[in-house]
Amino acid sequence: MVEERKAEKTVLPVATYNKLYYLGGLVMTLLVTVVSWLGKPQLDLVNISLIYLLPVLLTALWWGRWPSYVTAVLCVMLFDFLFVPPIFTFSVYDIRHIWSFIIFLIVSFLLGGRTELLRQQATIAQQREKSVRALYNFSREIAGVIDLARICQEMARQAGETIGRATLVLCPDAGGKLCITGSHDNELSLSKAEYAAADWSFKNGRVAGCSTKIMSDAENLYVPLTDGSARSGVFGIKIAGQMVSPEERRLIDAWAGLAAMAIERVKLVQQAQKTAVVVESDKLRMALFNSVSHELRTPLAAITGAISTLLDSSIDYSAEARADLLESILYGSTRMERIVTNLLDTARQESGMLKLKNDWCDIEDIVGTALRRIGESRCTHAVLTQIAPGLPLFLGDCVLLEQVLVNLVDNAMKYSPSGTAITIVVEQRDKRITLAVIDQGSGIAAEDTVRIFEKFYRAPQVNKVAGTGLGLSICRGIIEAHNGRIWAENHAAGGAKITFSLPLPDEGKAISFEAGERDE
């Protein structure tokens, strides 16, 4: 790195002076001359000489050193010609005036030089303040961004605008080859020589290209984006023979360091996300394995036992006993079907394959179909319905919503004593259809009202109640896919109450649907 620092051709910015600057100095000198001439009766030569310092100082302050020097010489000549005896000549009777002219010029040159230096320092301070503000804005904007391409593009744009040069950012692809990820100037491209310099800088972690001894024929300066030992890319700045000031170089290093940290943070976040996905996949796989192995084994054993008993020809069964065995087979098959359906629905939600087939739905039909699907299991509980009259149709996937209600009723039956009533309440609240399933069980603990909708989470009665812990999780996924909301709470009269609400369409959609029905 020391070698690159020595090799830099760093100079202060060279000021450029316009001819109008010299003209402005001349105009101010003439104005001061007119004022001094008109006030000559009341002014001494000392006062007039001090007045002539004004255009020198203002010229140095506004336009720089050399216009100030020219103005100073012009002021001395006019002062000698018009005010120092003999007037209207450049001759001087008193030799002491010569020393006054020399001191005037020295003071003018000192003022011009110091003022020029102050102007440069003020410009540098403004540039530094602009750079710091740009760095701060960039760091704030990318604080929560994990898109590598967006970070590189924004970095190239803001760095290019701040430095005032064309810039680009190169990052390695999956194969390790550098590619342009962000660019401030779309016309800025990489030739073979430029790419070789950028690749060398990336692989060796050192500055290369223009203004260095390494591949100095390149037009661009390449600074590696390094954060400690890790190299995440290369920052390219178009130099094209222009000099790089020390302030610019410090700014380039600051942008490179900030970009390196941002890119490294993105890579760490992506790596953490991949690790989290693997961990979650392992947890899901183990939970599925444990749940399926336990839940499927029980109904399968019941079905196998009932069928084996029916096939035993040595036993003569009565019609009632045969019906009981067949009911056991039917109940076990229904339970297995429900478990497999929940597992498939969970897999669809996890993979993003859950797609709604929206159609106009009648909530009364959904309730009736769901209760028919529950079938004979209703014999252990009384299912009551309270459906408000005149409920409007709404858009949704009737099959999935039916599955939601089946899962909610099945969950209520599991967690409430046999013989108690389960109530389904359907009503309209504002512009939403609301359905609640109320049981007469022991209720839900306050800390479980949210967790019961998580995958594989089961209430503390898990040792008494069979289940996979997927039913309510599937309900939440389906309801949220409908832009609805589902929540759990304890009912005022005792037991648990799980409610979901779905949005109703606006009146325009409902009217168009009814018109379509009439046309058919």
DSSP 8-state code for residue 193: H
In 346-449, beta strands by DSSP E: 359-361, 382-387, 394-396, 421-429, 432-438
Q: CA dist 150 to 145, 429, 440, Å?
A: 8, 44, 55
On whether the CB atoms of residues 59 and 68 are closer than 8 A, the answer is: yes
Cβ-based neighbour number of residue 391 at 10 Å: 15
- Is 90 exceeded by the pLDDT of residue 276? no
State pLDDT tens for residues 183-240: 877 656 678 888 888 889 888 888 888 878 888 778 888 888 887 667 888 888 888 7
How many Cα atoms are found within 13 Å in the side-chain-facing hemisphere of 391?
A: 26
DSSP label at 14? P
CA distances from 293 to 296, 301, 335 (A): 6, 12, 14
**What are the residue boundaries of the structural domains of the chain, listed by start?**
19-133, 144-271, 296-349, 355-512
For residue 452, pLDDT over 70 is answered with yes
Rounded CA-CA distance 515/283 in Å is 51
Tens of pLDDT, residue by residue over 346-389, are 666 555 556 778 889 999 999 998 888 776 555 678 889 999 99
Q: Count of residues for the chain?
A: 520
Percent of the chain with pLDDT over 90: 10
Q: At the topology level of CATH, where does 355-512 sit? A: Heat Shock Protein 90 (3.30.565)
Coil/strand/helix, residue 100: helix
C-alpha–C-alpha distance, residues 406 and 474, integer Å: 11
List all residues 6 or more positions away from 177 whose beta carbon is below 8 Å from its beta carbon.
Answer: none
346: which 2 tokens? 């969970």
**pLDDT tens per residue, range 135-159:** 787 777 777 777 788 888 888 888 8
Task: Tell me the C-alpha to C-alpha distance, in Å, between residue 512 and each of 121, 360, 361.
Answer: 72, 12, 15
Peptide bond into 86 cis (omega under 30): yes
pLDDT category of residue 10 using cuts at 50, 70 and 90: very low
Q: Which of 508, 498, 500, 471 is nearest to 483 (CA)?
A: 500
- The one-letter code for the residue type at 184 is H
What fold is seen in the domain 144-271?
Answer: Beta-Lactamase (3.30.450)
Average pLDDT over residues 318-346: 74
Q: Distances in Å between the alpha carbon of 65 and those of 58, 62, 201, 221?
A: 11, 9, 41, 32
Query: Would you say 426 and 433 are in contact if contact means Cβ atoms under 8 Å apart?
Result: yes
Find out whether 199 and 267 touch, Cβ atoms under 8 Å. Answer: no
User: In this structure, how many other beta carbons lie within 10 angstroms of the beta carbon of residue 152?
Assistant: 27
Please give the model's pTM, rounded to 2 decimal places: 0.43
Q: Report the chain's C-alpha Rg in angstroms.
A: 43
Quick: pLDDT tens for 385-434: 999 998 999 999 888 898 889 889 988 888 888 889 999 999 998 889 99
| Buried-exposed string 81-110: b where 16+ CB fall within 10 A, e elsewhere | eebbeeeeeeeeeeeebeebbeebbeebbe
pLDDT tens, position by position, 284-294 = 566 556 555 65
Element (H, E) at 8: none
Termini Cα distance of the chain: 81
Going by C-alpha positions, the residue among 371, 442, 429 that lies closest to residue 405 is: 371
Mean pLDDT for the chain?
Answer: 78
DSSP string, 239-264: -TT----HHHHHHHHHHHHHHHHHHH
